[in-house]
Structure 1
Amino acid sequence: MDGEDRKELKILGSKERCQDLISMTFANFIAYVLGYFFIFFACNFIHSMLRPLSQPRIISESIVGLIVGNLNFITKAFGQSVPWTLYSVAEIGMLCYMFALGLEMDPYVLVHRPTREAKVAYAGMLSTFLLSCIFAPLMNFFSTTSKLEFIIFLALAISNPASPLLTRLITDLKIGKSDIGKLVIAAGIHSDMVSTLLMAICTIISKSRGHAFVVTLATVVQMMLIAKFGSSFICWINDQNPKGKPMKGSHLVLSVAFMVFICAFAPVIWAASPIFSAFLAGLVLPREGRLSKMVISKLNYFWSSFLCPVYFFWAGLQADFDQFNPGKFSTWSNLFFLFMVATIGKISGTLVSGMLSGLQWQESIAIGLLLGVKGHFHIYLAVFSGEVGIISTSSSIVMIIVTLLTIVYIPLVVEYIISRARQRSNNPRMVLQWLDPSSELRMLLCLQGPQNLTTAINFMEISRGTAEPGIMVYATDMIELTDQVASTLIHREGVEAVTVTDESIVEMREQITAAIQAYMEESGKGITLRRMLALSTFNNMHQEICVLAEDALASLIILPFHKRQRGDGKLDEGHLWFRHVNRKVLRHAPCSVGILVDRGLGLTGKVSKSLESLKVGVIFIGGKDDREALAYAGRIAGHPGINLTAIRFLLDSNADNGSIRARSTRHAISEQEEEMKLDDECFAEFYERFLADGRVTYVEKYVVNAAETVSTLRTLEGLYALFVVGRGHRVDSILTAGMSDWEECPELGPVGGILAASDFSVMASVLIIQQHSPKGDLHGLDDEFSVI
């Protein structure tokens, strides 16, 4: 065979090898595609079976990944390159997940005053972290790594909730718009951000070892540069591609290249963790604007729709059940301790924060269980730790099982929350705003003594409005239970289980009863009277008042202000114990509460149609309490002796409020817009009923800020004998921002405090109303669940 023949044979052999390589590559590609679709359809099938149990998709994907990844014929068919390829795909998916997670979060909330959601998040994180540090040495997770580093990182991972999964679960299970749903979502995002940030810092320090300071400083500088120039770049892209027009291809490619560069810079330069580097890069970039929103939606869709099946198959492939040790006691003890620490840690923290913020213990436990949910990132940490030898494969499988256990009970917790909401909806809402105008108003009118008698009578007359539907008044004496009074009590059966025989108290009550009965006989049409007694120590008197109001199905409790007017028109120092009672009633009342500051109402002759009309002004700025004050004003508008004026304060649209709105978070702005919508609807209904026919005068006051609000309020001095205002303690409005800093009596609210101040008026009485909310502000569920 000559040289040409050998050359020809060599060429033919090369062609055959190339064809074989191409055929093998094509066959592998076909196998990958078929395998992907098999896993994808298997996940959908399992998810459809678990849907009646309200289990999320992560459960079905985990089941498929763990089962398929542990099939012997599949693991034997794979070479060494396939697991590495799957790991690369899973790594890319986790990079997308963490970058989108950081981009969705607002790091500037860390420098603001902690909200209730932040306090719940911090409490749950701290308690879980401490419990993890205590019990981690009892778990046999350690391998070759430093125990201290592992304990800290494990504690942070257990403290970390999966906020994207939690948000999805809360939304899918139909409590996303409820108050408890909003609280859990906000607390979960806050906790996720803080704990992931701490894990990133710990990773940077542990990896850099002796160069920790230099690497940390370089990372901080890098983040500052990304925040500075990245924001400018994204703003430029947004300006060049306004909403409504397709994004330019060159700008889209440039944006992708920029984001890949900032995520890969730190891992390439100083071998930082690419996962945490992507999270930090996303965290410092602005989350507002067209580009950021598009990136978040596209990455989340790409991750959930295409990468998740491969990700869980990789996790199942690495979680080799042949190395799982179910027969060892340490395996189940690790699983038990890890699950209990993750669950009890969150519950104990939310219980403490719930007690401080007024949440009921049932809701606190439910919040703790919801915040204990783990997700994709925790499975990645478990698998990665086992793969690099930090922990054993058996321990890695234990962590995956615990992660899934924190998810499966979530639908049961939400079902419990819904059942409690439905139970509440069966009870009548003790709120004036939702009370049928054609039904009578049931009121618990409290008296401290004979000094409140004339005021109480005039207030009853004002409140009755028209004779139909009328009001039911429970005139209640507030009597302190001293040792002397206790010695005169007689215990009986029936409604009046306790009777006071103290002569001074009996005489006082008879005096009040006689005066009220005289009024009722003369002009008490439309009023039904019941006499009651709140007999208790000052520490517990609020409980007695709340029980009486609940038993009477009252919609409004009226409390006298603890200060009384002196002869010179000023208010005295008042009775501090009655102030203590008033503040506790505001916190625990089962219905709306009004505090009446009497400055002349008790000195005025009885209000009736035969006497000169009483000028009443209802001030409406916005919020639940102001809507409740407007509802009360609607009740008294029909009284022939009342000359009512509705005064609405509005924000001057011509003023520059951009700096104020810029400091508000997106969540706060959306809440303000929702409240403004409710305010407009409420006022429109009031206008239709009372203003259109001229029964009520309407005045608008346009102001810019709180200072103008105060000055405008002072111009009303001398115009009205009674002001009706909302307490406004739950309102975050530009018109009242900062006014609470001057409050002498927070129970009166910012506007009520100004109107009741001694330097405002000596003739104008003030009624401050607070609308009832279930304890802890966990309402908002009834309407949503009524259609489930």
Structure 2
Amino acid sequence: MDCTMTSSILSANYNTILFEFGVILVTSKILHALLRNVYQPRVFSDLLLGIVLAQFRVLSLTNAINLVFGKIGGFVFAPYLFALGVEMDPGTLLDAPTADAVVAYAGILSSSVLVTLFHMPLMKATSGVVHEHSLRSFLGLAAVLANTASPVLTRLTTDLKIAKTAVGRLAVGAGLASDMVTTMLIAVGSMIWRDAGGRDSPIVQPVLTAAVLVVVIVSAFVSRAMAEWVGGRNPEGRRMRGFDLSLVALAAAALCWLSSALRLDVNMAAFLVGLAFPSEGRVSRLLVSKINFVLSSFVLPLYVSHVCLSLRQTTDDIEVTGLGRTEGFRAFVMELPFPWWKVFFVTVMGTLGKLTGCAAAGLLRGLGWLEALALGMLLNVKGYFHIYCAQAAFDAGIITDKSFMAIIFMVALNVAVTPMVGMGIASWARRSVQWRLMGLQHHDPSTELRLVVGLHGPQDVPTLSYLMEALRWGGGGGELAAYAVDMVQLTDQTAAAIVKGGGFDGVTVVDEEVSEMRKLIGEALDAYQAECGEGVKVRRLLALSSFPDMHSDICICAEDAMAALVLLPFHKAQRLDGSMDAGHFGFRLVNQKVLQLAPCSVGVVVDRGLGKHATREGQAAIREGQGQAVVVVFIGGADDREALTLAALMSKHPGVRLTALRVVQNATAQARAKARTSLFETKASRRGGVGAAAAASSSALGQEEAQMQVDDKFFAEFYRKHVAGAIGKQGGGGGMGYLEKHVADGAELVAVLRGLQSEYRLFVVGRGRDRSSVLTEGLDEWAECLELGPVGDILASSDFSATASVLIVQQYDAKKHYKVIDEEFMPL
């Protein structure tokens, strides 16, 4: 009779149910699009819609909707947990605990201690949050409160652009570790407390548990073999065959079914099988991407609506409220007295548990107390998994309807508040960056150095890798975060070869030439990162744009990463005979615009085989106490000061033998400088009279004297810190030499530099935008590339050297940053 009634309901209202599903999906998308403007994640819009539907009973066939999801609800969440497991690497549990893991473990421990201290009011049979007084309910509640919704946290930090801040990076890593550990504990608990209805003998359950573990181990070998096979058939950069991806999905489903056939919950089986899958690789990335797209677009909004609509009243709650049995079964829980104290109690328990442990661990990591509290609040974020756990606990009789409703409202409240914490962190980070200029001279040497590195092709990787390696030892314990940007021109051919939704960039260019180039770049960067160890983090990015717009991608990346320096290859490349070719005008345009608009310091690299020699000779040079000979040229000005700061960072590396060359005016040059000032005064007097001439002369002399004073003070401090201590040391690695040359004009300056070109492998020089010196007068009249500055252009010309590479450095313009027109009003 019941089966006949169920079939009749479904057949009679099939079109209506589809219409209601469509209404829920469309409304969820519209709601998410509106709430996304205030950085609310998708789970909040789904929860808000479900609560509204449950409160006002907007849909007429809620019984039919619950009936449909009641039949398949036990399997709906399995793909979500499978994708979650694939994104995690259980091998990290065997490694030494990182800072992220320590913060995660501290949060889990403090949450468990808090649940232990307050387990009595939590687990009262009549008025507590947990209806069942047992060990499994106690451990399950502790694990759920300690769990962090890592997908929600990752998306939130990305949208708020705090994923690259110290707090954001620590929160994302700790959230993933916390999510993995607690979900594994829940999965193991579901195996131990498997409900068999008392039919099994005591030996059956351990045997089934062991069988599940065997299936998981087999899954690891099967999945890795399939991933390698599919990866070999579908190289990186080419379109993935749908049949191959379907085979992987089918194998995963078969392994999940085999685990569930051993009486393990199918959702927990999916998570364990997902953990066994390799977390790296194109196959895993694409599989997770496809699953998450289907889940977020169709499945999860309907699932959350089903959960909220299933809030019905149980017999226990009817007796508490005094309603009749007939009335009770027709009433929604929301029509009963709202369990405010349960919402408050569960929210406070979860928040305090995370705040206590995570904030303490953050303080030990050197965070301020405000940052530590923000870290704890971010790690307390809840999500879809907590809704699933509430539903599973309700179905198992562990919690009552009112506690179920309290947990749902707690998740909604928690998710709504967390973006506000993230916005506070984002505003704090932006303010700190506003008052800490993004450049090497203003970089805190105790913190990680962040670089944005532009790459035209694999030929640029050796030299730029050498520069990254040389710079990273200047501070922060050798920690470097490099954002390697592949600069690919967007043409009609590449536009036709774009596949959205694949790869680590969100798009994949299937053009064979581009994919091969990116593959070679990736192999070279992977080799560099593997050689350098854990201190170096290299993230691959793609700037796929036309040349007039490509600079925007690089500048946005530098701003989001809060980078101190952007390194770009010169648009000209060296020929086999040692001369420079004509170069690519498009890349030159990109360099010019980045130099003009970058939110941090910029370095342009003229490569003459520096990276090849460094790769071949670097390790031997370090062993022998010698290194690559580098000279930094200091004439004066902000750009030269930035170049000197960069050289100071490089000097810490044992494979760099650095020399500081200071070029100063001799007597002839000083006389010419005075004559230039007198000529300027004479011209001004002709235009505006004696008073105007005096004012103009005073202003010019004042600015030049002030610049010279800043240069002298800066170089004196540099000499004291880096040169004086190195004088007298034997050997090369890590030491610094000093040269001083007195010259009269630009010709003598060029002669001095030419005399050094055979002794040094790399020249570091400032661009010299604000340099006011008679030593460089007239050099720009013959310049081919004005964007390099007068000295940089000389060093980059074909007739200068065939072996000496050049790094031209430009400091971020502080006056442009603060939008002032006079240095007198600079807030520094």
**Normalization by structure 2: what TM-score?**
0.54
Per-residue deviation, 1:364: 0.9
Establish whether residue 68 from structure 1 lines up as the match of residue 53 from structure 2: yes
1:321-400 correspondence to structure 2 within 5 Å:
322=331, 324=333, 331-400=339-408
CA distance in 2, matches of 1:51, 1:154: 31
Where do 1:638-657 residues align within 5 Å? Answer: none
Give deviations 1:209-257, integer Å, cap 9, x for gaps. 7655433432332222111122112211222233455544543443232
Distance 1:394 1:248, change over 3 A: same
Letter matched to residue 183 of structure 1: L
Aligned twin of 2:16 = 31
How much does 1:412 deviate? 1.4
- Given that residues 143 and 389 in structure 1 are in contact (C-alpha distance below 8 angstroms), is that contact kept between their aligned partners in structure 2? no
Residue number in structure 2 paired with 1:740: none
- Alignment check: 8 A CA contact 1:161 1:371 kept: yes
| 2:272 aligned with 1:307 | no
- Partner of 2:192 in structure 1? 205
Equivalent residue number for residue 292 of structure 1: 284
Distance in 2 of aligned mates of 1:96 and 1:666: 35
> Residue 514 of structure 2 corresponds to which residue in structure 1?
none
In the TM superposition, 1:336-735 aligns within 5 A as: 336-429=344-437, 432-433=440-441, 621-624=469-472, 626=474, 661=530, 668-670=537-539, 681=567, 702-703=614-615, 708=620, 710-714=622-626, 726=649
AA in 1 matched with 2:252: M
Report the counterpart of residue 263 of structure 1 in structure 2. Answer: 256
Residues 1:424 and 1:716: Cα distance change in structure 2 (over 3 Å): closer
The answer to whether the 8 Å contact 1:90/1:307 transfers is no
Per the TM alignment, residue 288 of structure 1 is displaced from its structure 2 partner at its CA by 2.9
CA distance 1:204–1:75, change in 2 (3 Å) = farther
Change (3 A) 1:137 1:94: same
Aligned residues of 1:93 and 1:307 also touching (Cα < 8 A): yes
1:259-310: CA deviations, max 9, x gaps? 1101111111x21011111011111111333332221111101101011221
Change (3 A) 1:688 1:188: closer
Q: Distance in 2 between matches of 1:232 and 1:699?
A: 37
SS in 2 for 1:668: strand
In structure 2, what residue type is equivalent to 1:54?
Y
Q: Deviations over 1:175-199 (max 9, x none)?
A: 2343432222222112111111121
Partner residue in 2 for 1:103: 86
Q: Determine if contact 1:75/1:317 at 8 Å carries over to the other structure.
A: no
Determine the structure 2 residue equivalent to 1:196.
183
The 3-state SS of whatever aligns with 2:614 is strand
Runs of 5+ unmatched residues, structure 2 = 196-201, 314-330, 449-465, 478-520, 543-556, 571-590, 596-600, 633-643, 657-721, 739-813, 819-828
Amino acid in structure 1 at the alignment position of 2:304: F
CA apart distance, 1:336: 2.0
- The one-letter code sitting in structure 2 at the alignment partner of 1:131 is L
Equivalent of 2:156, from 158, 163, 169?
A: 169
Q: 1:316 is matched by which residue type in structure 2?
A: C
Compared with structure 1, are the counterparts of its residues 335 and 258 closer, same or farther at alpha carbon in structure 2 (3 Å cutoff)? same
Partner of residue 767, structure 2: none
Provide the C-alpha distance between the structure 2 equivalents of 1:690 and 1:668, rounded to a whole number of angstroms: 22
Specify the alignment match of 2:695 in structure 1: none
Alignment partners' CA distance in 1, 2:527 and 2:438: 38
Deviations 1:437-457 (A, max 9, x none): xxxxxxxxxxxxxxxxxxxxx
* Counterpart check, 1:230 vs 2:238: no
Per the alignment, residue 611 of structure 1 pairs with none
Letter paired with 2:567:
E
2:729–2:735 contact (8 Å) kept in structure 1: no
In the alignment, structure 1 residue 158 sits paired with structure 2 residue 145: yes
One-letter code of the match for 1:713? G
Distance 1:300 1:763 in 2: 50
Q: Once the 2 structures are TM-superposed, how far is the Cα of residue 161 of structure 1 from its aligned partner? A: 0.7
Report the Cα distance in structure 2 between the residues aligned to 1:433 and 1:113, rounded to whole angstroms: 35
Residues 114, 349 of structure 2: 8 Å contact kept: yes
Residues 644-690 of structure 1, C-alpha deviations (whole Å, 9 max, x = no match): xxxxxxxx999998597399789934289999998771897999999
Report the Cα distance in structure 2 between the residues aligned to 1:323 and 1:316, rounded to whole angstroms: 10
Q: 1:361 to 1:260 in 2, by over 3 A?
A: same
C-alpha distance after superposition, 1:73-103 (max 9, x if no partner): 8577636xx5342134443331111111111
Alignment partner, residue 180 of structure 1: 167
Specify the SS of the correspondent of 2:399. coil
Identity %: 26
In 2, Cα distance between the equivalents of 1:430 and 1:34? 54
Q: How far apart are the structure 2 equivalents of 1:653 and 1:25?
A: 53
Note the 1:50-89 alignment, pairs <5 A.
Answer: 50-71=35-56, 78=63, 82-89=65-72
**What is the distance in 1 between the residues matched to 2:26 and 2:602?**
57
Identify the range of structure 1 (375-384 vs 133-142) with the bigger mean alpha-carbon deviation: 133-142
Residue type at the aligned position of 1:353: A
- The 8 Å contact of residues 87 and 279 in structure 2, kept in 1 or not, is answered as yes
Over 3 Å counting, the alpha-carbon distance change for 1:317 and 1:432 in structure 2 is closer
The CA deviation string for residues 564-607 of structure 1, in whole angstroms up to 9 with x for no partner, is xxxxxxxxxxxxxxxxxxxxxx8699xxxxxxxxxxxxxxxxxx
1:242 counterpart (235, 248, 253): 235
RMSD: 5.2
CA 1:30 to 1:688, structure 2 compared with 1: closer, same or farther past 3 Å? closer
Compared CA separation, residues 291 and 665, structure 1 to 2 (3 A): farther
Q: CA deviation at 1:389?
A: 1.4
The reply on whether 1:136 has 2:22 as its aligned counterpart is no
Tell me by how many angstroms 1:715 deviates. Answer: 6.7
Q: Match of 1:217? A: 210
Kindly provide the amino acid, as one letter, of the partner of residue 702 in structure 1.
A
Q: Deviations over 1:27-56 (max 9, x none)?
A: 422011111122223324444554454322
SS in 2 for 1:621: helix
CA distance in 2, matches of 1:375, 1:653: 34
Mapped partners of 1:311, 1:151: distance in 2: 26
For structure 1, the residue ranges without an aligned partner over 5 or more in a row are 1-17, 435-554, 557-585, 590-617, 630-651, 737-750, 768-781
- Residue by residue, what CA displacement relative to the aligned partner does 1:294-330 show, whole Å, maximum 9, x if unpaired? 211111011010112210121112223746489879x
Q: Distance in 1 between matches of 2:734 and 2:156?
A: 56
1:628–1:164 CA distance, 2 compared to 1 (3 A): closer
**1:541 maps to what in 2?**
none
Q: Distance in 1 between matches of 2:615 and 2:139?
A: 53
